[in-house]
């Protein structure tokens, strides 16, 4: 059985993951408006992945006999100053999410709930990968600057991002 504190924190994290998905979905729309198909595709894959992150915790809470309490998902921003600014915002957001996951892993240890800590370790590794991926894109976009051909190449590269693997198999 989940402790009340952990149940509340996991429900909050479900909301954070849904917000992440919503944020990236908003970035999809922004990139589409800029005719950056590859950037839009990358954001779409990220939004789908965050949705899977929410579902993984959702299913875990149910598996532990916990109560799901879905909350209102806040509206994300709709505009950024540039595609680079959107990716910078994505990087900041992932750092924020890493902080949330770390707190949850700490709480699981405090509550001596090793099963929840185990699930959180999956998210810890996932966050390392996500931060590294977005950081790489931010660095490349900074290098490219205003160069049209550079942005064209980057956009083409981002279009190759594969879809996340659904939960149940080995998840992306
Ligand atoms: Fe990228 O945030 Fe989920 O965990």
The domain defined by 4-158 folds into Ferritin (1.20.1260)
pLDDT at 171: 47
Query: Which pLDDT belongs to residue 172?
Result: 45
Mean pLDDT within 144-162: 97
Give the start-to-end residue ranges of the domains of the chain.
4-158
**pTM for this predicted structure:** 0.95
**Ligand 1 centre distance from Cα of residue 153 (Å):** 27
CB count within 10 Å of CB 74 equals 11
Closest ligand 1 atom to 130 CA: 1
Percent of residues, the chain, with pLDDT higher than 90? 95
Q: What is the pLDDT of residues 82-91, one digit of tens each?
A: 999 999 999 9
Which pLDDT tens digit goes with each residue over 92-128? Answer: 999 999 999 999 999 999 999 999 999 999 999 999 9
Instruction: State the closest ligand 1 atom to the C-alpha of 17, by its place in the atom list counted from 1.
Output: 3
Does the CA dihedral 21-22-25-26 come out positive or negative?
negative
According to the model, what pLDDT value does residue 165 have? Answer: 87
């Amino acid at each position: 059985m989940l402790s009340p504190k952990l149940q509340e924190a996991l429900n909050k994290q479900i909301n954070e993951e849904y917000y992440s998905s919503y944020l990236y979905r908003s970035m999809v729309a922004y990139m589409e408006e800029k005719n950056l198909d590859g950037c839009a595709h990358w954001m779409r894959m990220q939004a789908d992945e965050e949705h899977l992150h929410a579902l993984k915790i959702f299913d875990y809470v149910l598996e532990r006999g916990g109560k799901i309490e879905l909350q209102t998902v806040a509206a994300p921003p709709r505009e950024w100053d540039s595609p680079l600014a959107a990716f910078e915002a994505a990087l900041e957001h992932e750092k924020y999410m890493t902080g949330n996951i770390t707190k949850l892993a700490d709480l699981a240890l405090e509550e001596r709930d090793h099963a929840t800590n185990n699930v959180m370790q999956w998210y810890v590794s996932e966050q390392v990968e996500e931060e590294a991926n977005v950081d790489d894109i931010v660095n490349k976009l900074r290098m490219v600057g205003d160069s049209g051909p550079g942005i064209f190449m980057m956009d083409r590269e981002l279009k190759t991002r594969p879809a996340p693997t659904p939960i149940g198999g080995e998840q992306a």
